[in-house]
Amino acid sequence: MDNDVNGIQDVVSDTVFGVITNVLVAVSTLVVMFVLDWRLTLGALALMPLVLIPARRVGRATYHARRRTQEKLAEMTAYMQEVLGVSGILLVKAFTKERAERQRFQGMSEALRRLDVRQAMIGRWFSMMSMTLMTLGPALLLLLGGYLVITGRTTVGTVVSVVTILASRLAGAAGSLGSTHVDITGSLALFQRIFQYLDLPADVADRPGAVELRALTGAVSFRDVTFTYAGAMRPALESVSFDVEAGQLVALVGPSGAGKTTATYLLARFYDPQDGAVIADRTDIRDVTLESLSGHMGIVFQDRFLFHASVRDNLLYAKPDASQAEIEAAAEAACLHDFVGSLSRGYDTVVGERGHRLSGGEKQRMAIARVILRDPRIVILDEATSNLDTVSEQLIQAALRRLFIGRTSFVIAHRLSTVVAADVILVLDRGRVVDRGSHDELLSRGGLYRTLYDKQFRKDAATKQADEVVAVP
Ligand SMILES: Nc1ncnc2c1ncn2[C@@H]1O[C@H](COP(=O)(O)OP(=O)(O)OP(=O)(O)O)[C@@H](O)[C@H]1O
Ligand SMILES: [Mg+2]
């Protein structure tokens, strides 16, 4: 988008005035020429197609060339952002791909150079043709004028003024209009790319007449929710129904690909279900405005994204008008305040792109502090699978306990402590809720939960015991 908008900026500002001036010049010159000698004027007009026909062809060629150039440019920009980003660089180093990446980049810039040169050459062809015409045109007109003088139909003075002054001015204006045509046709390629993007329908948009969701207690229901991702073969969620009371802690468990993340996305209304409804406090969330809905939601993603900004600014993202006291209270609640105090510049320390200067546990606590500052009614948390050391783990658990108090919380659980503390555990498998209940109920019932527990959570319990053994001096 950025490249495309830059590309058409000049065309828009330069051509408008160019077109007006040139049209005025051409029209007034033609009028004077007609008054002086209509035969010479017709002769000059007969030569015009020689400028205009190439302009059409060159315009079309420029259009295609610019389209390809912009595509290549977009590809290269995306490539640079991805590979030169923090995660990209780490991956490049980890797989020692420096040489390969350099080659790939070289290939791309080579292709871009070729396209750019080609595009410039097309323009050259056009100006060469109009230059030729500017030399050839007067010669032909003089021939016609000479004939008219010899046969006594006009005077030498008229021929000279029409051919040398007026006709060349007309040719100049026509030539400019021709190259403007080339520029505009070429930039249509960019306009088309921009509009293609602007015309994309939004996945989720406010309904006409959507109301503001003011207060929310936090009760949530899924009613027969079925959802399939665009282009997916099978539904990610199928007839999912459950009710959660305000303030409850809900743990979502299930094997990979079961639809846990998808369920939280539907609750946050990143997508709308094809069938069924998601209800918050007896209101279908499609009937309220997106902005008011998201004001009541706090989300801690699995991939805890932080901006390349200070600790303070990252926290303020959740609530731009928060005071320093509020920020510190949130950091305190998320067990982050002491850590921030140990940083060289405290809350003004810059965390690095995506927060890469912080450890996994610190990032997680930042994300929790951010949500605490927002103070939402509904919390969605995708617990990280990474195994943290006992101290980090305890800090995070303390932070989480404070986060969950008084809020309806949906947690994609990877920790034993979370499932044990949960009011309801929903067991998902292949898009369906296959079981629900408390930890003890589900465990005694056997089934999928038991299997998951054996595979995933029990080793949690084992490590914890082991840690405790080590911790004893
Ligand atoms: N954007 C997407 N487009 C198409 N299919 C998707 C998309 N996101 C997820 N899926 C598919 O939907 C299904 C459910 O995915 P989901 O991310 O909800 O699983 P999950 O339970 O969160 O798994 P995990 O524990 O591995 O995170 C999977 O089969 C997945 O391949
Ligand atoms: Mg997931």
Across residues 39-63, what is the average pLDDT?
86
Exposed/middle/buried for residue 181 (C-beta within 10 Å: 0-12, 13-18, 19+):
buried
Range of the domain at 390: 220-471
Ligand number nearest to the C-alpha of 259? 1
Whether residue 97 sits in one domain with residue 233: no
- The band of 57, judged by pLDDT with boundaries at 50, 70 and 90, is confident
What's the pLDDT tens digit per position in 268-304? 999 999 999 999 998 999 999 999 999 999 998 877 7
* Per-residue pLDDT at 396: 84
Q: Residue 4 corresponds to which tokens in the numbers above?
A: 């495309």
Whether residue 176 sits in one domain with residue 101: yes
Across residues 21-35, what is the average pLDDT?
93
- Cα 263 to middle of ligand 2, angstroms: 9
Residues with CB under 6 A from ligand 1: 229, 232, 236, 254, 256-262
* Per-residue pLDDT at 198: 92
Taking the CA of residue 20 as centre, how many other CA atoms within 13 Å lie in the half-sphere pointing to its CB? Answer: 5
Q: How many angstroms separate the CA atoms of 160 and 151, rounded?
A: 16
Rg of the Cα trace of the chain?
35
Residue 357, domain member (yes or no): yes
Atom of ligand 1 nearest to the CA of 237: 14
Question: Which residue of 262, 411, 426 sits with most ligand 1 atoms within 8 Å of its CB, as the best mutation to test the pocket?
Answer: 262
- Cα 453 to middle of ligand 1, angstroms: 21
Atom of ligand 1 nearest to the CA of 259: 18
* Per-residue pLDDT at 461: 63
Sequential DSSP letters for 277-305: EEEETTEEGGGB-HHHHHHTEEEE-SS--
Atom of ligand 1 nearest to the CA of 254: 21
Atom of ligand 1 nearest to the CA of 231: 4
Q: Which own/partner pairs from 103-110 qualify as long-range (CB within 8 Å, at least 24 positions apart)?
A: 104/79, 105/76, 105/79, 105/80, 108/72, 108/75, 108/76, 108/79, 109/76
Whether residue 230 sits in one domain with residue 117: no
Hey, whose CA ends up nearest to atom 27 of ligand 1? 256
Structurally, how many domains does the chain consist of?
Answer: 2
Q: How large a percentage of the chain has pLDDT more than 90?
A: 49
Evaluate if residue 413 carries a pLDDT over 50. Answer: yes
Residue 436, domain member (yes or no): yes
The H or E element spanning position 409 is strand 408-412
Axis crossing angle, helix 324-333 with helix 390-404, rounded to the nearest 10: 120
Residue 234, domain member (yes or no): yes
Residues 6+ apart with CB under 8 A from 171: 44, 47, 51, 130, 133, 134, 137
Evaluate if residue 100 carries a pLDDT over 90. Answer: yes
Hey, whose CA ends up nearest to atom 19 of ligand 1? 257
The answer to whether 118 and 61 are in contact (CB under 8 A) is no
Q: How large a percentage of the chain has pLDDT more than 70?
A: 96
| 151 or 55, which is more confident | 151
Evaluate if residue 400 carries a pLDDT over 80. Answer: yes
Taking the CA of residue 456 as centre, how many other CA atoms within 13 Å lie in the half-sphere pointing to its CB? Answer: 19
- Cα 78 to middle of ligand 1, angstroms: 25
Whether residue 172 sits in one domain with residue 224: no
Q: Residue 440 corresponds to which tokens in the numbers above?
A: 């003890």
* Per-residue pLDDT at 459: 67
Per mean pLDDT, which of 124-138, 260-274, 355-369 is the most reliable?
Answer: 260-274
Hey, whose CA ends up nearest to atom 29 of ligand 1? 257
Q: How many angstroms separate the CA atoms of 427 and 380, rounded?
A: 17
Whether residue 242 sits in one domain with residue 128: no
What's the pLDDT tens digit per position in 193-227? 999 999 998 888 888 888 998 888 999 999 999 99
**What's the angle, vertex CA 327, arms to CA 321 and CA 329, rounded to 5?**
135
Dihedral sign for Cα 174, 177, 179, 185, please: negative
198, 230, 264 — which closes off a domain?
198
Residue 256, domain member (yes or no): yes
- Cα 451 to middle of ligand 1, angstroms: 21
Whether residue 224 sits in one domain with residue 192: no
Question: Which residue of 233, 260, 270, 380 sits with most ligand 1 atoms within 8 Å of its CB, as the best mutation to test the pocket?
Answer: 260
Q: How many angstroms separate the CA atoms of 330 and 403, rounded?
A: 10
Which of 376, 374, 373 has its CA nearest to residue 337? Answer: 373
- Cα 455 to middle of ligand 1, angstroms: 20
Whether residue 226 sits in one domain with residue 192: no
Residue 210, domain member (yes or no): no
The H or E element spanning position 263 is helix 260-267
* Per-residue pLDDT at 447: 86
Q: Determine the length of the chain.
A: 473
- Cα 260 to middle of ligand 2, angstroms: 6
* Per-residue pLDDT at 388: 65
Residue 137, domain member (yes or no): yes
- Cα 428 to middle of ligand 1, angstroms: 12
Q: What is the CATH number of the domain that holds 361?
A: 3.40.50.300
Residue 208, domain member (yes or no): no
SS3 assignment, position 235: coil
